[in-house]
Structure 1
Amino acid sequence: MNEIAAIPVFVKVAEAGGFAAAARQLGLTNSAVSKRISKLEAHLGTQLFHRTTRSISLTEAGEVYFAHAVQALGSAREAEDAVTSLQGKPVGQLRVCAPVSFGILHIAPLMARFLQNHPGISLDLVMDDRVVDLVDSGFDMAIRAGKLEDSSLVSRRLTDVRSVIVASPNYLKAHESIKLPEDLLHHNCLHYTYSRDPMEWVFHGPLGKQKVKTKGSLGINNSQALCTALVDGLGVGRLPTFVASPHIKSGRLTTLLSDYSLPEQALYAVFPERRHIPAKVRALTEYLVDCIGGDVAYWDN
């Protein structure tokens, strides 16, 4: 039966392309991973990987075994989901990936009550602005905004994400007024670099769609850090309201170009497609819908 336990390790090594990468993702040592693969090969009586000092690749036997091993893992996961769905109360470890700023501001504060309501769940919350492969990285769920490119994922809409153009009162006192989108060409515009269009800002106004190619002295890959620079008076920026709203309400930031709207995005909970959605995934999804969801998110009220 030890050989069956080695199947997830074998699949992870094949997908990760190496023993070290698989060990990191599995939380094991390199030697532990190597030993499990060696024992599996000894049991099967054949070599599953071609090994060199720089890389590994599947042998012909490894390719055949991999195809069946992936199906076996999928069936085992389906069986686990089916059983846990009958238990009534969601249980097990739940791995969730969320964008850094949104996770800190709006996911983490909700977790204490969720875990108190579901004592059978243990939560592993990873904050990362990169779009990761949920299956390869072992995540049960991710929070994502915008167009969903991966058609193999199931999604549940949580709410809309709105953005605004903002600057601090001190910055606005010291610089030319901004009444039209093209006025931004004369200002120091700060950019969130993980955006698909960090420099080009799109507006919808009285004359229709308008694009402005902005420029400035700071690009940064975290919207909270960008917000800090804007509050400090460095320039003008485009921020999601889930970051900007408290600073607008307090007067630390002023909204600009209110006659123009910026493109909106939807915020989703996404998870790998399965025949039975795990009860723990359903529980967190419904909880987030209740706490965040609706056509207007709570931070925009």
Structure 2
Amino acid sequence: MDQISAMQAFRRVVESGGFSAAAALTGQSHTVLSRQVKNLERHLGTQLLSRTTRRLHVTEAGALCYRHCVQVLEQLEAMSLEISEHQQQPTGTLRLSVATAFGELELGRWLPDFVERFDQLQVELICTDRFVDMLEEGVDVCLRVTTHLPDSNLVARQLAVSEVVLVAAPAYLQRWPAPIEPHTLGEHALLGYNRLAQPQRLSLQGPDGQRLDVAMPSRLSANSPMALRAAAIAGLGIASFDRFIVHDALLDGRLVQVLPEWQQPSRHVYAMFPQSRYLAPKVRALVEYARAYYTEPRWEIKM
């Protein structure tokens, strides 16, 4: 019996939830996978999987076997990767997932140089604002901009901090002769991002530490930060953005900051990847390159 192949088959069946799903994932037939698992059960002298007409259940012995299989297989993979790491550049396909705004506004600043530097690596870029299940979708690295990280088995490396700012176009502000105050925000045309958990509320902290929650009945809302950015530049109202989204428009005057003395909770840019005992060279290369790039603050307004 090829014990390693049997362990790999068993692990795939458990993680996929069944033989058919594992067969589709690995390209092996249902029959081959079933035979390998049965050989492993015969070798160990115990039943690992309980099969019914509808579901596949992992026995108590199967759960113990699965944990050891994962450990042994990861150690074998780590050995192979570690031996070859010093002999080759990162190769293969790197699947990189980013939010659409970050992909459109930030990656053009540093990804071309990364691709040129690691010319044996192919990058598959996935720009989406939906939640990405990295393990399910086979994503190697995900760059996320968030205020907090949910509990998960993913490793997170902080790359940068993005201040959150209120902005509006000069043309919009010229139509309001009175100074804008936090308590008058609700009287303005407000632009909202409707994919947030609470898209209609701002949490502000003043220069003296006072806190204020501001309801934001939106004149216009959208599920695209880039569409809201265009609306704000066109003078349709006041909006709240990560600074990296509006940094260039603040520099050239298309937008100006509103209530600059009032702060909102900052968000953080993370590089996230599945937890493993050994980091693949292609993942390590991307994470280290991005961390080095964002060591220098990128979105400060120099006075």
Q: How would you bin the TM-score normalised by the shorter chain?
A: 0.7 to 0.9
Distance in structure 2 (CA, Å) of the matches to 1:57 and 1:3:
22
The amino acid of 1:222's aligned partner reads S
Measured at CA, do residues 223 and 64 of structure 1 come closer, stay the same or move farther in structure 2, by a change above 3 Å?
A: same
Distance in structure 1 (CA, Å) of the matches to 2:7 and 2:104:
36
The amino acid of 1:113's aligned partner reads D
Distance in structure 1 (CA, Å) of the matches to 2:220 and 2:22:
37
User: Offset of 1:206 from its aligned partner?
Assistant: 3.0
Match of 1:293 in 2: 295
Measured at CA, do residues 249 and 298 of structure 1 come closer, stay the same or move farther in structure 2, by a change above 3 Å?
A: closer
Match of 1:266 in 2: 268
User: Offset of 1:174 from its aligned partner?
Assistant: 4.3
| Residues 91 and 121 in structure 1, CA contact (< 8 A), matched pair in contact too | yes
SS of the equivalent of 2:263 reads: coil
Deviations 1:11-49 (A, max 9, x none): 45533446776678x4x77xx564553443454477846
The amino acid of 2:186's aligned partner reads L
Of the three residues 236, 239, 246, the one matched with 2:238 is: 236
Residue 40 in structure 1 maps to residue 41 in structure 2: no
Distance in structure 2 (CA, Å) of the matches to 1:211 and 1:230:
22
Q: State percent identity of aligned pairs.
A: 31
Aligned ranges 1:95-134 → 2 under 5 Å = 95-134=95-134
TM-score (norm 2): 0.78
Distance in structure 1 (CA, Å) of the matches to 2:20 and 2:184:
52
User: Offset of 1:168 from its aligned partner?
Assistant: 2.7
The amino acid of 1:179's aligned partner reads I
Residue 221 in structure 1 maps to residue 217 in structure 2: no
SS of the equivalent of 1:269 reads: strand
Distance in structure 2 (CA, Å) of the matches to 1:194 and 1:140:
25
Measured at CA, do residues 150 and 36 of structure 1 come closer, stay the same or move farther in structure 2, by a change above 3 Å?
A: farther
Match of 1:163 in 2: 164
Deviations 1:162-187 (A, max 9, x none): 12111233433445755211211112
**Unaligned stretches of 5+ residues in structure 2:** none
How large is the RMSD of aligned CA atoms in angstroms?
3.5
Match of 2:78 in 1: 78
Structure 1 residues 1-10 or 171-180, which shifts more? 1-10
The amino acid of 1:223's aligned partner reads P
Distance in structure 1 (CA, Å) of the matches to 2:230 and 2:13:
42
The amino acid of 2:182's aligned partner reads P
SS of the equivalent of 1:225 reads: helix
SS of the equivalent of 1:142 reads: strand
Deviations 1:131-153 (A, max 9, x none): 44544544332222333334754
Distance in structure 2 (CA, Å) of the matches to 1:9 and 1:176:
71
SS of the equivalent of 1:239 reads: strand
SS of the equivalent of 2:214 reads: strand
**Unaligned stretches of 5+ residues in structure 1:** none
Match of 1:257 in 2: 259
Aligned ranges 1:195-210 → 2 under 5 Å = 195-208=196-209, 209-210=211-212
Deviations 1:274-300 (A, max 9, x none): 444333223222221233333x22575
TM-score (norm 1): 0.78
Deviations 1:196-250 (A, max 9, x none): 4422212222342222121114433331122123233333210111111222333
Measured at CA, do residues 20 and 220 of structure 1 come closer, stay the same or move farther in structure 2, by a change above 3 Å?
A: farther
Distance in structure 2 (CA, Å) of the matches to 1:38 and 1:185:
63
